[in-house]
Amino acid sequence: MRADIVFKAVLTSKVLTQDPVEGECVKLDFSEYKPIPPPIITSTDESGIVREVAPIIQQVIQSMPFTQKGMVKTPRFTLWLTKEEWNSLESKPDIGDEVTVVIRRGAFSINLK
- In order, the DSSP letters of 95-111 are TT-EEEEEEETTEEEEE
- Rounded Cα–Cα distance for residues 23 and 86 (Å): 13
Residue 33's Cβ-side half-sphere holds a number of Cα atoms within 13 Å equal to 13
Count of domains for the chain:
1
Q: CA-CA distances (angstroms) from residue 27 to 13, 35, 40, 88, 108?
A: 8, 26, 38, 15, 18
> Is residue 31 scored above 70 in pLDDT?
yes
Q: Look up the domain containing 99 and give its range.
A: 5-112
> What letter does residue 9 receive in the DSSP assignment?
E
> Is residue 71 scored above 70 in pLDDT?
yes
- Residues 34-70 have pLDDT tens digits of 887 766 666 666 667 767 776 777 666 656 655 556 6
Q: What is the pTM of this model?
A: 0.69
